[in-house]
Amino acid sequence: MTIVAKFEIHYTQFLDEHGKAVQPLPDFARDPAALVPLYKAMVRTRLLDQKMLALQRTGQLGTCCSCLGQEAIGVAIGSAMRPEDILVPTYREAGTQLWRGVTMVELLLYWGGDERGSDFAVPRKDFPVSVPIATHCPHAVGVAYAMKLRREPRVVVCTAGDGATSKGEFYESLNAAGTWKLPVVFVISNNQWAISVPRRKQTAAETLAQKAIAAGIPSEQVDGNDIIAVRHAVERALANARGGAGPGVIEAVTYRLSDHTTADDATRYRSADEVAAAWKAEPILRLRTYLASCGAWNKENEDTLLKQCNEQVQAAVQAYLDTPPPSTDQMFDCLYAKLPAALQAQRAQALGDE
C-alpha cells in the first residue's frame, strides 16, 4: 500500500478562556489599545441582541435569532473585511453587519418583518440575511465568480453554521469554489447545535474544517471565542483570496449560548450544566479580562461604554417603533412589470377595496 496524500487541520488560539495569552500575538493585536474597538463592538452587539429579545417577548418584534456567545466571530469578520468586499451572511452575523455599516434600525426593521430593513444604506452590495440553511452558499460562489471574471480585487465572505456543512449546497459550493479558484472565504460558526441536533450527531467528521480538503481548499480551525484568533485567520484567508490564491475555509469553534431562535426552547435538549460550562469560555469576558490585565480597560471605561451603547440601542429602538409600517399593497410591488389579474384581485382585497 502506498500513501498518496496526507492532510492536517491546524487549530489556533491566542487567548485562553481565562484571558491569558498562550502564544505571541499577531501584529494587529500587539498593542492592546488596538483591541479596544473590537471589544466595544462586541458589547454593542450583545446589548442590541438583548434588547431584541426583550422586544420580541413583548410582541414588538418578530421571531429573531440571537448571536449570544458568537460576538467574537461576527466582529472579527467585519473588522477584517474591506468595504468593497461582499458579505453573504446567515442569520447570526449582527456583529459583522453592524461593523460594516448596517444600522441598528435596519436590523430591527428586518426582524420586525419589514423588508426595508434589508435595503442597507451603507454596504449596498452586501446580501440580506439568509434564513434557509446553506442556500446562500451557491450565491456566494456566483458573486465570487463574477469578481474573478471582472478581475476585481475583492473577496466574498460567506458565513454558515455547523448544520449548514451537512447540506448539499455547502459541498457543491466548496467544489465549485475550489475548482475555479474563486475569491471566496467560508467561515463556519461551529456553535455545537443545529437547532436541537448536536454536532456529534450530524457528522462523523473529526472537524468541520476538514470538509474543505476534498474540494482542494486550504482550511483551518480556530477558537471562535478568541477574537484575535478569528480575526487573524480571516485576515490571512482574505489576503490569499485577494491575491489570487483561491478560496479558504475557517471553522470557528464556539457555543450558542441562546436558544436557536426566540421560537425555540433549548432546555428541552441540552442541560443547564453544559450551558454554564460554555459561559466560562464566552468571548466578551475573555477579551475584557485580557485588556484589564494590560491596563487598557477598567470599570470606569466599562460603565461609560455600557451607558453609551444602551443610549444608542434605545435611540434605535425608538426610531424603529416610530417608523410607519409599510402599506399592505407594497407586498405586491417589484414582482411583475404588470401585475397579473389574479394578484391584482388579491391586492385590491388586501387594501379592502373589495
Domain boundaries, the chain: 11-323, 328-354
CA dist., res. 257 & res. 147, Å (int): 36
Residue from 95, 4, 106 nearest 47 by CA: 95
User: Beta 184-190 vs 193-194: how paired, if at all?
Assistant: unpaired
State which amino acid sits at residue 331: M
What's the pTM? 0.96
Catalytic-residue membership of 236: no
| C-alpha cell recorded at residue 264 | 425555540
CA distance 201 to 184: 28
Of 44, 154, 260, 286, the catalytic one is: 260
- Cβ neighbors of 312 (< 8 A, separation 6 or more) are 44, 104
pLDDT for 270: 97
**Tens digit of each residue's pLDDT (9 = 90 or more) over 149-180:** 999 999 999 999 999 999 999 999 999 999 99
3-state secondary structure of 132: coil
CA distance 236 to 77: 11
SS3 labels along 169-217: HHHHHHHHHHHHCCCEEEEEEECCEECCEEHHHHCCCCCCHHHHHHHCC
Edge-first strand listing for the sheet containing 11-12: 11-12, 219-223, 248-253, 184-190, 156-161, 86-88
Backbone angles phi, psi at 220, to 5 degrees: -155, 165
Q: Give residue 331's pLDDT.
A: 84
CA–CA dist 305, 337 (Å, integer): 49
Burial 89-120 (b: 16+ CB within 10 A, else e): bbbbbbbbbbbbebbbbbbbbbbbebeebeeb
Q: Which helix (H) or strand (E) holds 283?
A: helix 283-293
Q: Give the three cell numbers for residue 344.
A: 391584482
CA atoms within 13 A on the CB side of 200: 0
Q: Between the CA of residue 122 and those of 83, 84, 103, 267, 353, what are the distances in Å?
A: 9, 11, 9, 38, 38
Cα–Cα distance for residue pair 271/276, rounded to 1 Å: 9
- Assign a CATH topology to domain 11-323: Rossmann fold (3.40.50)
3-state class of 44 per DSSP?
helix
Task: Answer yes or no: 256 catalytic.
Answer: yes
Q: What is the pLDDT of residue 350?
A: 83
User: Which residue of the set 256, 286, 288, 347 is catalytic?
Assistant: 256
Contact indicator for 53, 239 with CB cutoff of 8 Å: no
- 327 burial type by CB count under 10 A (0-12 exposed, 13-18 middle, 19+ buried): exposed
Examine the residue annotation and report whether 18 is marked as an active-site residue of this protein: no
Q: How many CA atoms lie within 13 A of 311 on its CB side?
A: 6
Give the chain's mean pLDDT: 97
Gap between the Cα atoms of 142 and 345, Å rounded: 37
The pLDDT value recorded for residue 221 is 98
CB-CB neighbours of 292 under 10 Å: 16
Residue numbers in the chain where pLDDT is lower than 50: 354
- Helix H segments across 294-340? 299-322
